Amino acid sequence: MQNEELKFQSPTFFQRLKGMLGVDFYRLFHTPMFYIFLAIAAIIPAMVLGMTSMETAEGAVPMYTNTWQMIAANIPLYAVRDISEYANMNMVFIFGGIMVSIFIGHDYKSGYVKQLFTTHAKKEDYMMSKSLVGAFSMACMCVTYLLGTIIAGLFVRASFEVNVGSLILAVLGKMVMSLGWASLYTFLNIIFRKYFGISIASSFFFGTGILIVGAGAIVGNSPILNVFLYGSSVYACLSCGIDALLTCIVVSLAWAVIYNLVGSMVLYKSDVY
């Protein structure tokens, strides 16, 4: 059996991650859920743009006059003042949160997580893989959201006037923030892994930005609060520059590292299920 022992070669970190990511992407592309969420991300902005209106003295007027309002606010908003300022591409982070919850929830519900943890000793592989797949899904949703918004804008004949550079940076900023959000959701779902309903509720709660709204209402608008509670997503606005994108990259990576580390620690210290 000495010869047999020599065959036990430890897979490298990248080999392990490749396997775990391979499974998750295979699952993602082979499940209707991913495509449903892509469609939702495209349909919702179109519905919001085409169907929302405000009552004024002159009667009902469209809430959105410029198509790109559906992508981001004009200026960085640390706290939401009205719904039209909030209902933009940040909504993808709510859809993404629910998707990540269902994705991880199915791992536990089906018992597949047992197969993963039997063959993969490292819990951080699981955290990283789910975060990256969640980020990819949300980035894809950002693209379908953008397409849905453009098509709806053409239909309702809303204005397309915008600073193109800032628009691109804003979209990229939000796509980059997907990694931070996905890591947060993965972490939340690991914490509440035994309670599927609470996992979804917590993802929705964080994704809607209720924390930043609540904190903003109590302590007022604050860039620091925004970074801590809302991942700087609102820096990515229609008047942003390259510094906003860099902020999003830094914050997203910081969130990813922190939540992956803490999530892995939780998995190491507690029972898998």
Partner 1 sequence: MYAIEINGLSKSFRGMYAVNDLSLKVPVGAIYGFIGENGSGKSTTEKLICGHLVADKGEIKLFGRDYTDPGVRVKVGALIENAGCFPGSSVYTNLMMQAINLNLENAHEEIMRVLKIVRMEDNVHLKFKKCSLGMKQRIGIAMALMGSPKLLILDEPINGLDADGMRIMREILVEVVTTQNCTVFISSHILGELEKIATHYGIIRRGKLVQEISAKEMESRARVFVSLKVKDTEGAKKVLKERFAVVKEEEEYLRVYDEENVESIVECLLKNGHAVSEISKNKIGLEEYYIELMSEKERE
d(CA 161, CA 204): 32
What is the three-class DSSP state of 227?
helix
Q: Pick out residues in 89-128 that bind partner 1 (CB under 8 A).
A: 106, 110-122
Q: Which stretch binds partner 1 (CB under 8 A): 27-35, 36-44, 82-90, 184-192?
A: 27-35
Residue from 30, 59, 164, 224 binding partner 1 (CB under 8 A): 30
Of the candidate residues 23, 250, 258, 261, the single one contacting partner 1 (CB under 8 A): 23
Radius of gyration of the chain (CA): 20
Q: What is the DSSP letter of 75?
A: S
Residue with smaller CB distance to partner 1, 62 or 106: 106
Stretch that binds partner 1, among 8-16, 51-59, 95-103, 164-172 (CB under 8 A): 8-16
Q: How far is the CB of 40 from partner 1 (least distance, A)?
A: 19
- In sign, the C-alpha dihedral spanning 52, 34, 234, 175 is negative
The Cα–Cα gap between 101 and 137 comes to 13
Q: Which stretch binds partner 1 (CB under 8 A): 5-13, 40-48, 84-92, 225-233?
A: 5-13
The verdict on 4 binding partner 1 (CB under 8 A) reads yes
What whole-number distance in Å separates Cα of residue 92 and Cα of residue 174?
A: 9
Contacts of 213 (CB under 8 A, 6+ apart): 79, 80
**Interface residues toward partner 1, by CB under 8 A:** 1-2, 4-5, 7-11, 15-16, 18-20, 22-23, 26-27, 30-31, 106, 110-122, 268-273
